[in-house]
């Protein structure tokens, strides 16, 4: 199983901690140390699972908008996006549980025209105000259909580290990785009002694979 590069620090700390606790518990508790070691090994297994990088057969897309993350669609509504678009648009929000793959992918292909990191609060990721008040990043891409598409990585109550690797003038390719969020979070995608929405609230999404909307060419 391939692991994400963001796993390195977390795994080193976890393995050293488990090794130390294991050595101490075996020395003092002998067989009773299993009561401590088994839950710790399960926790280590969950960390490996969290940082997994599954294989995805990414296709080329022009007008399609693909799911940027694995998760569940929790919001679809018309909103006013006041940071980049400064206009009404359709917001599609996808919530990631700690068990989902947390690789963040470009929802559309085109050119990166905007990026910004915002410090903020750590409200639960499904809270409506988390899109504007939580720690977050904002990225905008001018799509191949000549639309501006904005998307945000949003930290949650548990997630406290957001990374994004893109830069202005980078070529974005739908379904390809641009960032990562640790331990539960949300992504919002802001689309033109005339976009055909192909998902509904409650749908499970697979990042880079599932088409959630289609923009007019």
**Catalytic residue IDs:** 185
Distance CA 65, CA 41 (A): 39
Q: DSSP per residue over 151-178, as a string?
A: EEEEE-SS---EEE---TTPEE-TTSEE
Work out the burial of residue 132: count CB atoms within 10 Å of its CB; fewer than 13 is exposed, 13-18 middle, 19 or more buried: middle
Q: Is the dihedral of CA 14, 126, 216, 193 positive or negative?
A: negative
Return the SS3 of 38.
helix
Both tokens assigned to 6:
């963001």
Query: Could you say which DSSP state residue 50 is in?
Result: H
**CA-CA distances (angstroms) from residue 76 to 107, 201, 210?**
16, 7, 16
């Amino acid at each position: 199983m391939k692991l994400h590069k963001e796993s390195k620090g977390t795994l080193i700390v976890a393995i050293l901690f488990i090794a130390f606790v294991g050595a101490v518990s075996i020395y003092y508790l002998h067989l009773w140390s299993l009561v401590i070691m088994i839950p710790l090994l399960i926790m280590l297994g969950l960390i490996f699972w969290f940082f997994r990088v599954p294989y995805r057969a990414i296709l080329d897309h022009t007008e399609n908008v693909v799911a940027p993350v694995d998760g569940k669609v929790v919001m679809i509504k018309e909103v006013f996006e006041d940071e980049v678009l400064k206009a009404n648009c359709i917001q599609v929000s996808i919530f990631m549980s700690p068990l989902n793959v947390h690789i963040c992918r470009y929802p559309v292909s085109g050119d990166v025209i905007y990026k910004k990191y915002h410090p903020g609060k750590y409200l639960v990721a499904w809270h409506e105000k988390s899109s504007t008040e939580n720690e977050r990043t904002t990225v905008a891409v001018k799509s191949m259909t000549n639309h501006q598409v904005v998307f945000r990585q949003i930290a949650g109550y548990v997630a406290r580290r957001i990374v994004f690797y893109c830069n202005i003038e980078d070529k974005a390719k739908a379904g390809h990785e641009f960032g990562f969020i640790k331990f539960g979070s949300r992504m919002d995608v802001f689309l033109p009002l005339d976009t055909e929405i192909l998902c509904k609230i409650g749908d499970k999404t697979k990042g880079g694979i599932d088409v959630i909307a289609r923009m007019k060419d």
